[in-house]
């Protein structure tokens, strides 16, 4: 029996919407990463990009559990000596709320060229409006905390 791999023409890409205000950030990120990688499809192949496009809305209302609102720190280094910048969640949420969701999802994707290709199919918006109505996206509900 031969193993059949999907070709570029056989891969159909759908569009999905996830609301960041309905579930904790980690659960939302894992669901989005699963869809971007294509693990929700029967044609999933680890070395091919079989995933779909994901639109995340309401990133400014992302839910964090526990004491992460006070303790979590986002770090970025400029590459110069002494160039480490550390920002608390409150500042990141105020200045650039999309960053929280993007970093959570990007951390769950493969750290390869294929992972970067998957990441390009992610669109994150701070509010509840997005310009992708022409793609007729399907609304999904991420699991809420138990």
Residue 30 inside a domain? The answer is yes
Within the chain, where are the H helices? 25-37, 68-71, 89-95, 98-106, 113-119
- pLDDT tens for 10-29 read 999 999 999 999 999 999 99
Please state whether the predicted TM-score (pTM) of the whole model is above 0.75: yes
Residue 6 inside a domain? The answer is no
Does residue 144 carry a pLDDT above 70? no
Residue 144 inside a domain? The answer is no
Residue 26 inside a domain? The answer is yes
Look up the domain containing 24 and give its range: 13-139
Residue 94 inside a domain? The answer is yes
Does residue 58 carry a pLDDT above 60? yes
Does residue 57 carry a pLDDT above 60? yes
Does residue 43 carry a pLDDT above 70? yes
Residue 24 inside a domain? The answer is yes
Residue 103 inside a domain? The answer is yes
* Average model confidence (pLDDT) across the chain: 94
Residue 36 inside a domain? The answer is yes
Does residue 143 carry a pLDDT above 90? no
- CATH for 74: 3.90.1180.10
In sequence order, what E strands does 1-146 have?
Answer: 15-19, 53-57, 73-77, 84-88, 122-124, 138-139
Q: What average pLDDT does range 104-113 have in this prediction?
A: 97
Q: How many domains does the chain have?
A: 1
């Amino acid at each position: 029996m031969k193993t059949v791999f999907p070709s570029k023409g056989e891969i159909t890409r759908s569009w999905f919407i996830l609301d960041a205000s309905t579930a904790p950030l980690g659960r939302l990120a894992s669901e989005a990463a699963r869809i971007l990688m294509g693990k929700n499809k029967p044609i999933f192949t680890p070395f091919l990009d079989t995933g779909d496009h994901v639109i995340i809305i309401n990133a400014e209302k992302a839910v964090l559990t526990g004491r992460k609102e006070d303790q979590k720190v986002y770090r970025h280094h400029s590459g110069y000596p002494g160039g480490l910048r550390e920002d608390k969640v409150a500042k990141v949420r105020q200045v650039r709320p999309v960053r929280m969701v993007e970093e959570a999802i990007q951390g769950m994707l493969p750290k390869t060229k294929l992972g970067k290709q998957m990441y390009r199919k992610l669109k994150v918006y701070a509010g509840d409006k997005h310009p992708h109505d022409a793609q007729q996206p399907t609304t999904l509900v991420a699991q809420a905390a138990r």
